[in-house]
Chain A
Amino acid sequence: MNTPVDLKYSESDEWVRVDGDIATIGITDFAQEQLNDIVFIELIITKDELLKKDDKLGDIESAKSHAEILSPISGKVIDTNTTLSDDLSIINKDPFGQGWMCKIQILDKNELNNLMDASAYQKYCEGREH
């Protein structure tokens, strides 16, 4: 399992990359592995929408399971990855890179302190595998 050290992680298995006051969000390697072959994604957010922490970003489906993607922090949507639906395997292959889902303008940087770092997330994942 890959858990890049420069990212922050949520308990619902999203990652956050912080660049100034912009946060890029996606789902973790652990999440894509648990879901297995992803067959559908639907992001329900629109540009300029204001999100609170844990608001729903969208749904993701594999052949026999379904998960919700939640926003790990609050902020304003500035971009979504519209190319994901063209090749869903990108989420499985490159969850931390091309598989990103949205970018938001961070509202309150203090919220980042509630997220896990890589080693805490790694511990969090241990024992959750099935």
Chain B
Amino acid sequence: MFIPHTDFERKEMLAAIGKKNFMELFLDVPEQFRFPDLDLPAALTEMEALELAKEYSDENNSTDELVCFLGAGAYDHYIPSVVDSLLRRGEFFTAYTPYQPEISQGTLQAIFEYQSLITNLTGMDVCNASHYDGATAAAEACLTAYHNFRGSKKKFILSNALHPQYRATIKTYMSGYSDVEIIQEDVSNDLQNKSSITSYLDKNTALVFFQNPDFFGRVNDLSSQIHIAHEFGSLTAMAINPISLGIFKPPSEYGIDIVVGEGQTLGIPLSFGGPYLGIFATKKELVRKISGRIVGETIDQSGKRGYVLTLTAREQHIRRENATSNICTNQGLMALASCIYLSILGKNGLRQVAELCYHKAHYAANQINSLKDFSIDQKSTFFNEFIVKCPRPVNEINSYLFDHGFIGGYELEKDYPDLKNHMLIAITEKISKDLIDQFCSTLQEAANA
């Protein structure tokens, strides 16, 4: 192990704090716990360790071997190889926003470009440097609304079509605010019913939270609901899938105040537990209230372009307990990945990806709808994800699909008890027509297997 300090330096440091030796630093730990016997296997050589690690990793199944029809918030899109090769450059390969930001112009510029791309895509005025993932970005939106009204409005209304994990994360984040009321739209849902979300509104409402495309993949015109929320003086937030904005209208056109989203779809691989990317963008009016950091472009004293962390006075290290949020980090590397992804695709490329997802998903939906005993909800507009009503429990179907090389759809009953035998299927541009056809015939077999 490499330790940079010499014995001499260590003696100097110990002398400075008045300790005779290194062990004196551990006197607070009860003696019997200081050096416990650890039951560890014998040390391995690098070669042996690598082999062992590979053995473990081979037990995983990845989307390299299986065809993935699972979405529900994270999607198996194609990632151009240039994303990874640029991302792994030594100059960029750190997850952190630097604490002495001005000397890291490259990192700051990357974040600035990311912010510019997201504001372009969403139509919003301001985008922060990102959060951990879609769920934490959603929770930060609630904190922003809470602080916007200085705690005077205490009701938060969440659509039942907002991702269940986002709702859970919001509850966790808001649990420290004792008087806050989080209302979930009634979950006993016939999917054909129109959302009743506006019936919960009153003057005490701080935020109404929508998702579009919603958790079930449906694209809804939310204009009138957002308008009603504004009439009650509430802020509105919307969770989005950035890829869908290649073909659907930007959330800004609904008059939404805060946009959050999972940026994983923009060049970030599927992985259990992340790292993913939390998109967070707002109207200009909220810029002093938002959590997280913002990179700004400016000129230095000799007139040259430069980048700075701006509006830092809002942040937790200055405002302390009065800051909107305790967050003081962002997903710099993942923001860069999405930035490279969007730059490589360009306007037309993004539209193409979105169109491929849309058309393939609609082809798949039609094929599945024609299967015996399977049906899809045909009334809704959807993007790349849709609900399939199955003839038997989804976990049984999925286990059959898995044995045939497919990762099946999301089991909706887990979060929506009324949706027994309903599966949420997602299609990306990666899945060919042949694979969709194979999937459909396997699905048909699974009905009776």
- Of the candidates A44, A63, A68, the one whose C-beta lies within 8 Å of that of B313 is A63
Assuming the contacts A62-B313, A64-B313, A65-B313, asked whether A42 and B318 have C-beta atoms less than 8 A apart, the reply is no
In A37-79, the 8 Å CB interface with B consists of: 39-40, 42, 44, 59, 61-66, 68
Q: Are the CB atoms of B150 and A68 closer together than 8 Å? A: no
Contacts of B319 in A (CB 8 A): 66
Chain A residue nearest to B320 in the complex (CB): A66
Contacts of B11 in A (CB 8 A): none
Docked CA distance A62–B313 (Å): 7
Assuming the contacts A66-B318, A66-B319, A68-B322, asked whether A44 and B150 have C-beta atoms less than 8 A apart, the reply is yes
B326 to chain A, nearest CB (A): 16
Q: Are the CB atoms of B150 and A39 closer together than 8 Å? A: no
Interface core residue of B150, B313, B322 (most chain A CB under 10 Å): B313
Chain B residues touching A, majority SS: helix
A38 to chain B, nearest CB (A): 10
Docked CA distance A70–B313 (Å): 18
Chain B residue nearest to A44 in the complex (CB): B150
What total of chain A residues lie within 8 Å of the partner, measured CB to CB? Answer: 12
In B302-335, the 8 Å CB interface with A consists of: 312-314, 318-319, 322
Q: Are the CB atoms of B288 and A40 closer together than 8 Å? A: yes
Q: Are the CB atoms of A66 and B150 closer together than 8 Å? A: no
Chain A residue nearest to B310 in the complex (CB): A63
Q: Are the CB atoms of B150 and A65 closer together than 8 Å? A: no
Q: Are the CB atoms of B322 and A40 closer together than 8 Å? A: no
Assuming the contacts A64-B318, A65-B318, A66-B318, asked whether A42 and B313 have C-beta atoms less than 8 A apart, the reply is no
Contacts of B314 in A (CB 8 A): 61, 66
A60 to chain B, nearest CB (A): 9
- Additional 14 contacts, C-beta under 8 A, given A61-B288, A64-B313: A40-B288, A40-B313, A42-B288, A59-B322, A61-B313, A61-B314, A62-B313, A63-B313, A64-B312, A64-B318, A65-B313, A66-B314, A66-B319, A66-B322
Residues in B lying within 8 Å of A, measured CB to CB: 150, 288, 312-314, 318-319, 322
15 CB contacts below 8 A, A to B, read A40-B313, A42-B288, A44-B150, A59-B322, A61-B288, A61-B314, A62-B313, A63-B312, A64-B312, A64-B313, A64-B318, A65-B313, A66-B313, A66-B319, A68-B322
Task: List the 7 closest pairs (A to B, CB-CB), nearest first.
Answer: A61-B313, A66-B313, A66-B318, A66-B319, A65-B318, A64-B312, A65-B313
